[in-house]
Amino acid sequence: MQDRGTAVPSGVPADAGIDIGGTKIAALIVDERGTVLARGSAPAPAREGGAAMADAAAALVTGLAAEAGVSLRAAGVGAAGVVDHATGTIRAASEMFVDWVGFPLGDELSDRLGVPVRIENDVNAFLLGEAAGRADRDVLGVMLGTGVGGALIVDGDLRHGPHGAAGEIGHTPGYSDLRCTCGQTGHLETLASGTSIGARYGERTGDVLNSSGVAERARAGDADAIAVFRDAGRALALACASAATLLDIPLAIVGGGVAHAWDLLAPAVDEALRTDAPITGIPLRVIPAEKGGDAVALGAIESARRARAVVAY
């Protein structure tokens, strides 16, 4: 947190939310009442290094703030990778991000924007965004994308854990005999990620499709495609049931590209929640995300606002 008092109000006060992924940077400008005033995106120069990413994000946000005629107070970022939210530094990330690990994204963006910047992991931000406005204070978030990410809100707050790694449900074992992207065996991700759905369908049929292609086939009645989604849905629900049993969490919100095929996941999810319900007897709801592509940026703003409430900057 720096640049205290740098921003000179010249318009309506507003906050920026930034969703930084490997291919795209998306941003929102939101006023105090939560109204989205501007929205845009730009290509993410992930292979050009951290400074190029910060430049691109800052240019996007500065342009959107000017378009909306607002004075920025703060910005929140949901960034791919393991994030040290206390320092705003990236701790670990996939290889597609050059010069990203160790990059002080929070300080660098704060310098460029002239406002305090809060950094969160993108799945944590997704969950904050989806949970905002709900009465639920204990929520599991599962992101079914290229991989499977997870996040936890416990008693109203994000649970980061001592290493910032809480909620990594995608790499919990016991769901298959298949090799996971992380090198271990049987993780939830081997059945429920978009990548895995394509791979599992390919093993059955020899056809190379992405998960939305498999979804199309399932909707057309292809038994192999239906089975792949059934396996994904069952594994997802069992993972949610384990988390719910351990932590007394009654709600799981599922996002990411695979969740667009909720119609195909839901039958197996519902069946598994019947056969393997948490023994606490408390009904576990597993529902698809509702805020679409805005969830990460909205959650990043929520994270920045919460940080401001704690640290008076």
Interface with Zn ion (CB under 5 A): 171, 180, 182, 187
**300: amino acid identity, one letter:** A
In the bound state with Zn ion, the residue whose beta carbon lies nearer, of 141 and 170, is 170
Write down the least CB distance from residue 81 to Zn ion, Å. 16
Question: What does the angle CA 196 – CA 170 – CA 96 come to, to the nearest 5 degrees?
Answer: 70
In the bound state with Zn ion, the residue whose beta carbon lies nearer, of 127 and 180, is 180
Write down the least CB distance from residue 300 to Zn ion, Å. 26
Which residue's structure tokens are 């691109």? 56
In the bound state with Zn ion, the residue whose beta carbon lies nearer, of 193 and 303, is 193
Helix (H) or strand (E) holding 117: strand 117-121
Write down the least CB distance from residue 202 to Zn ion, Å. 19
String of DSSP letters for 121-163:
EHHHHHHHHHHTT-S-SSEEEEEESSSEEEEEEETTEE---TT
3-class SS of residue 284: coil
Residue with smallest beta-carbon separation from Zn ion: 180
In the bound state with Zn ion, the residue whose beta carbon lies nearer, of 116 and 147, is 147
Write down the least CB distance from residue 189 to Zn ion, Å. 5
Query: Taking a C-beta distance cutoff of 8 angstroms, is the pair 49, 85 a contact?
Result: no
In the bound state with Zn ion, the residue whose beta carbon lies nearer, of 84 and 168, is 168
Write down the least CB distance from residue 136 to Zn ion, Å. 28
**76: amino acid identity, one letter:** G
Q: Cα(63)–Cα(112) distance, rounded to whole angstroms?
A: 13
Write down the least CB distance from residue 149 to Zn ion, Å. 11
3-class SS of residue 212: helix
Which residue's structure tokens are 């930084």? 20
In the bound state with Zn ion, the residue whose beta carbon lies nearer, of 141 and 149, is 149
Write down the least CB distance from residue 184 to Zn ion, Å. 5
In the bound state with Zn ion, the residue whose beta carbon lies nearer, of 110 and 195, is 195
In this structure, the chain runs to a length of 313
Provide long-range contacts, Cβ within 8 A and 24+ apart, for 152-156.
Answer: 152/127, 152/243, 152/247, 152/249, 153/127, 153/128, 154/247, 154/249
Q: Cα(196)–Cα(299) distance, rounded to whole angstroms?
A: 27
